[in-house]
Structure 1
Amino acid sequence: MVACERQLLGLALAIIGFLGTISICALPAWRVHKFDHQSNIAASEVFFQGLWKVCGTFSAELVECKQYGELVYISLDLEVARVLIIIAIIIGVFGILLGDVGSKFINFVPDEMEKSRTAMASGVAFVIAGLFVLIPVCWTTITIIYVLPHDHGKREPGASLYIGWITTALLFLGGGLLCSSFICRDGTDQDVEYPNP
């Protein structure tokens, strides 16, 4: 794969991972806590905890959400996750800007070596953003599985954690491809010049 295609694929994967980071920040589904009152389906309650609010479903039609504050407290792992995900989004924005500047399709920087270095810096930014997503996703998953008590209902990871795992993989893969477009610069990895017809 030539460096130009590798950069384009890496940037596309990293941008998809960046959008996943925004979605896990917004979705209120990091933790799911299900209460089942005496096996009565009509009386079952499900609570979804996110980074910014808690939502509860008390029947098939009634969903109520509350912001964290005086009445609803946020746990330590979700509070740290909130900070780390915001940092990952900020780093992702810088990664996208650096990826655009270092792109072989846009002539912001005329020097090819500087373009490659900028693309590599973009890749490093996306890998760092992936680490900032991986840490809270792992911490919250471990907290749900091993730390939180399971005596009152069933606790399980929410959809945001599953999206977070995929997001982390995409950020690492996209960042790695962007970095490799600078590292793999030998005679076989040059852009192909096609003759004009």
Structure 2
Amino acid sequence: MLSSAMQILAFALALLAIFGATVATLLPNWKVSAEQGPNIITAISQMQGLWMDCTWWSTGVFSCTLKYSVLALPAYLQTARTTMVLSCMVATLGLCLAALGLKCTRWGGSHRAKGHTAIAAGACFLSSGVLCLIPASWFTNEVITSFLDSRVPESSKYEPGGAVYVAFVSAGFFLAAGVIFCLSCPGKRGGQPESGSSHPDKALQKQLYQEQLRRREQQPRLQPPPDREEPPPPPRDKDVKAGYSLQDYV
């Protein structure tokens, strides 16, 4: 029962992680311009994402420009695009496997098959977490390094945006869901492989029956004492009647 509740919690965390990773991939605020310039009247706010660059003007105009050229992008930005898309795809596959591996559902086969499916779903979630954590960490490192560089002008410095934090939280949810799914269905219990039945009481009854047989085999067997003479069988009625003569009846 506890394992089923933990699996449901992990499934909910995986759903939130997929939603957060998808939103973080599409958001344009992976890095936001730092407001340190001397010109405060214009108050231009610039945002850069994985797919577009947006500018918010003080007059209220908001404009975005798509990044059409892939080869012109830096290496960390190309890596972030690829890994975030792969993270969402692998997580979707893990979510389908997790729906079949839940113990509280009837589809998915036997108990052993459900355990293997749940472990596969946990592996997908762990991979998605790593794929989501790599671009977020690399992107943050590049932004902080550029911000602390004295050769970069103040107007060209950026800070990590909200999409980076969403990616970090989604990666944490992916890793937590993957660990729970991998640990909720162990392959063996008590040195005996799991039975194909989905009912846990049958496996317990089988173990108890094997223990009783083992105890009976260990008990010493009682043997009859040697040189024991068996009593003769009692005489039959027809033999007794045969011993009487006809004179006895006269």
Give TM-score, length-normalised by structure 1: 0.86
Pairs within 5 Å for 1:1-197: 2-34=2-34, 37-40=37-40, 42-59=41-58, 61-69=60-68, 74-147=73-146, 149=149, 150-153=152-155, 154-183=157-186, 186=189
Q: Which is worse superposed, 168-177 or 1-10?
A: 1-10
- Cα distance change, pair 192–27 in 1 and its aligned pair in 2 (3 A): farther
Alpha-carbon distance in structure 1 between the residues aligned to 2:171 and 2:59? 33
Q: After superposition, what is the alpha-carbon deviation per residue over 1:155-181, rounded to whole angstroms, capped at 9, x for unaligned? A: 100101011111111111111111111
In the TM superposition, residue 90 of structure 1 has moved relative to its aligned partner by 0.6
**Count of residue pairs brought into register by the alignment:** 188
Alpha-carbon distance in structure 1 between the residues aligned to 2:172 and 2:178? 10
- Cα distance change, pair 4–184 in 1 and its aligned pair in 2 (3 A): farther
Residue 34 of structure 2 aligns to which amino acid in structure 1?
K
Contact 2:37 2:154 in 1 (8 A): no
Give TM-score, length-normalised by structure 2: 0.69
Alpha-carbon distance in structure 2 between the residues aligned to 1:57 and 1:7? 43
Root-mean-square deviation (CA), in Å? 2.4
- Cα distance change, pair 9–156 in 1 and its aligned pair in 2 (3 A): same
- Cα distance change, pair 36–64 in 1 and its aligned pair in 2 (3 A): farther
Find the structure with the greater CA-based Rg: 2
Contact 1:36 1:44 in 2 (8 A): no
In the TM superposition, residue 60 of structure 1 has moved relative to its aligned partner by 5.2
Higher relative contact order (CA 8 A, sep 6+): 1
Alpha-carbon distance in structure 1 between the residues aligned to 2:75 and 2:62? 25
Contact 1:46 1:56 in 2 (8 A): yes
